[in-house]
């Protein structure tokens, strides 16, 4: 019975639209009434977002924090100073800014800015990407030591660090390269920002996260008690870039302020396994050189095999793209077209786009994935090949030195060094 009202309403709607389509600016089904009682129409409120100047203040805070922590590491050589700076960063960038904006995620903004013509990268995001890298190019990874909130939360929790076997560290240390490559692949194909999506700590900063991410975050923290900074060392994609910069930095921190007295006190001080011991060449020089030559020769092979393996994976990789997923679904299960419960398919069907168009688009995206996964695989192959070369190159080392790529400049080892600064 009552539905009659609705039908009446619908008919009147149709009538209205028919009549009003002749009128110049009338687009509404029911025109706004003119009130006799002096009714004052309320405003539609529009609360402003965070003030733009505050976003630039974040950049300034980052710069100041980087400067302060670099000063603590290089000049003051103070672990305490580094620690309290990192606590500040945790509070400011972590709990106050709730983990967004962060330098790790900014990789994706920069990549999207390069690959997506419709996206203009905010200057603040670009600066968040550049500042730590520039600092790292001169002073080592001081960003990791005191400015990164993700690093800080793990650093505080590293209570009982155990030393992982070297080969485990080496193998796990390859993951960040893969993660970086995958992140770039998914951004370059305009699919998604996986670094942000799988940030394990952002849920703590916001006190709110999906259940599976909360579990992942807790897992990272629990492991982090024993394996110091697991995310930084074995996952962080930004750490890869920082490591490259730091490796060739002009003023990296040193364990000892003057000459090393070989006391070995610092040997076990590093929870990250980032201190290189003194080494002398072992084995026959001839066979060592031969091995190195072989590794150099098979480097292109690594790249080729990696690229090929990557390209074989381009179909499953591309399924994480919305368009490709939808096209596959509709082609393989045409019955979903009439499934009213599938919101995505329903929306697509009512969008007026033809299935052929969708498949064509998906094909183009998949082709991008094909090229991208060749590059990704080749990159991973190159990383494996060069790390093999790195393992077999011999470089004489007489003192205990920080490994410039992996050292996070946390300054723990400095406390252990008995040598005082030369006057």
Q: Which of residues 353-382 bind another protein (CB under 8 A)?
A: none
Q: H helices within 278-354, ranges in order?
A: 285-312, 314-318, 322-332, 343-350
Residue of 6, 7, 22, 211 interacting with another protein (CB under 8 A): 6
Helix (H) or strand (E) holding 401: strand 401-402
From 21, 48, 282, 354, residue interacting with another protein (rule: CB under 8 A): 48
Q: Does 196 bind another protein (CB under 8 A)?
A: yes
Tell me how far CA of residue 365 lies from CA of 324, 325, 386, in angstroms.
Answer: 7, 11, 31
Contact (Cβ atoms closer than 8 angstroms) between residue 408 and residue 141: yes
Told to check if 290 binds another protein by CB under 8 A, we report no
Q: Is 264 in the site for another protein (CB under 8 A)?
A: no
C-beta separation of 138 from 73 below 8 A: no
Smaller CB distance to another protein: residue 53 or 297?
Answer: 53
350 is a contact residue toward another protein (CB under 8 A): yes
Of 154, 199, 195, the closest CA to residue 178 belongs to 195
Write the DSSP assignment of 224-238 as a string of letters.
HHHSSSHHHHHT-HH
CB of 90 to another protein, least distance (A): 17
Q: Is 198 in the site for another protein (CB under 8 A)?
A: no
Number of chain residues interacting with another protein (CB under 8 A): 78
Q: Of 138-177, which residues contact another protein (CB under 8 A)?
A: none
Q: Which is nearer to another protein, 134 or 168 (CB)?
A: 134
Interface with another protein, residue 329, by CB under 8 A = no
Which C-beta is closer to another protein: that of 59 or that of 171?
59
Decide if residue 244 touches another protein (CB under 8 A).
Answer: yes
Instruction: Specify whether the CB–CB gap between 205 and 94 falls below 8 A.
Output: yes
H/E element, 221: helix 211-226
Residue 13: other Cβ atoms inside 10 A = 12
Do you know the residue count of the chain?
423
Task: Tell me the two tokens of residue 419.
Answer: 């040598």
Told to check if 351 binds another protein by CB under 8 A, we report yes
Distance of closest approach, residue 122 Cβ to another protein, in angstroms? 5
Shortest distance, position 83 Cβ to another protein, whole Å: 28
Tokens 């070995």 locate to 264
CB of residue 247 vs another protein: minimum separation in angstroms? 8
Of 90-129, which residues contact another protein (CB under 8 A)?
98, 100-102, 105-106, 108-110, 113-114, 119-126, 129
Query: What distances in angstroms separate CA 35 from CA 12, 30, 38, 40, 49, one per listed residue?
Result: 22, 14, 6, 9, 34
**Rounded to whole angstroms, what are the CA distances from 32 to 28, 83, 157, 254?**
8, 62, 61, 74
User: Which residue number, 14 or 64, has a Cβ lying nearer to another protein?
Assistant: 14
In this chain, which stretch among 25-33, 73-81, 143-151, 386-394 interacts with another protein, using CB under 8 A? 25-33
7 near another protein, rule: CB under 8 A: no
Q: What is the CA radius of gyration of the chain?
A: 28
The CA distance from 329 to 226, in Å, is 44
Considering only residues 53-72, where is the footprint of another protein by CB under 8 A? 55
Closest to 318 in 3D by CA, of 380, 371, 378, 381: 371
- Is residue 312 within the footprint of another protein (CB under 8 A)? no
User: Is residue 281 near another protein by the rule CB under 8 A?
Assistant: no
Question: What would the x/- binding string for another protein be over residues 377 to 406, using CB under 8 A?
Answer: ---------------------xx-------
**Angle 103-115/123-139 helices, nearest 10 degrees?**
120
15 lies in the site for another protein, by CB under 8 A: no
Measure the CA–CA gap between 354 and 334, rounded to whole angstroms. Answer: 13
CA distance 363 to 357: 10
Q: At its nearest, how many Å lie between another protein and the CB of residue 109?
A: 7
Q: Kindly state the smallest distance separating residue 262's Cβ from another protein, in Å.
A: 11
What tokens does 33 get? 């009434």
Q: Please identify which residue in 35, 165, 286, 352 interacts with another protein, judged by CB under 8 A.
A: 35
Report in angstroms how near the CB of residue 185 gets to another protein at its nearest.
Answer: 15
- CB nearer another protein, residue 218 or residue 261: 261
Confirm if 276 and 401 have CB atoms less than 8 A apart: yes
Contact between 37 and another protein by CB under 8 A: the answer reads yes
- Considering only 65, 153, 228, 245, the residue that binds another protein (CB under 8 A) is 245
Nearer to another protein, 9 or 218 (CB): 9
């Amino acid at each position: 019975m009552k539905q009659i009202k609705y039908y009446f309403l619908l008919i009147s709607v149709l009538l209205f639209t028919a009549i009003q389509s002749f009128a110049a600016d009338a687009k509404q089904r029911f025109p706004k009434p003119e009130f006799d009682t002096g009714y004052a129409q309320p405003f539609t409120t529009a609360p402003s977002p965070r003030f733009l100047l505050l976003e630039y203040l974040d950049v300034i805070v980052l710069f100041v924090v980087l400067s302060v922590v670099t000063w603590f590491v290089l000049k003051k050589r103070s672990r305490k100073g580094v620690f309290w700076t990192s606590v500040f960063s945790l509070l400011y960038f972590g709990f106050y800014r709730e983990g967004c904006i962060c330098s790790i995620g900014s990789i994706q903004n920069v990549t999207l800015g390069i690959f997506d013509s419709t996206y203009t990268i905010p200057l603040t995001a670009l600066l968040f990407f550049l500042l730590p890298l520039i600092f790292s190019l001169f002073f080592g990874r001081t960003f990791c030591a005191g400015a990164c909130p993700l690093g800080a939360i793990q650093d505080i929790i590293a209570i009982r660090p155990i030393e992982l076997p070297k080969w485990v560290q080496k193998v796990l240390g390859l993951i960040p390269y893969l993660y970086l490559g995958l992140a770039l692949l998914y951004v370059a194909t305009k699919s998604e920002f996986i670094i942000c999506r799988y940030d394990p700590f952002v849920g703590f900063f916001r006190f709110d996260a999906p259940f599976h991410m909360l579990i992942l975050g807790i897992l990272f923290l629990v492991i982090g008690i024993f394996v110091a900074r697991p995310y930084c060392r074995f996952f962080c994609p930004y750490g890869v870039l920082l490591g490259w910069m730091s490796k060739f930095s002009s003023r990296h921190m040193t364990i000892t302020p003057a000459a090393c007295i070989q006391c070995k006190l610092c040997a076990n001080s590093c929870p990250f396994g980032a201190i290189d011991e003194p080494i002398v060449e072992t084995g026959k020089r001839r066979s060592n050189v031969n091995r190195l030559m072989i590794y150099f020769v098979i480097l292109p092979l690594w790249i080729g095999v990696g690229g090929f393996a990557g390209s074989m994976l381009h179909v499953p990789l591309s399924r994480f793209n919305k368009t490709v997923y939808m096209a596959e679904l509709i082609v393989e299960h045409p019955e979903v077209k009439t499934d009213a419960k599938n919101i995505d398919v329903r929306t697509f069907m009512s969008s007026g786009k033809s299935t052929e168009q969708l498949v064509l688009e998906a094909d183009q995206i998949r082709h991008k994935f094909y090229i991208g996964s060749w590059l990704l695989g080749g990159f991973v192959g190159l990383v494996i090949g060069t790390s093999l070369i790195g393992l077999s190159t011999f470089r004489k080392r007489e003192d205990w030195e920080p490994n410039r790529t992996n050292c996070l400049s946390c300054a723990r080892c400095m406390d252990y060094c008995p040598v005082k600064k030369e006057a």
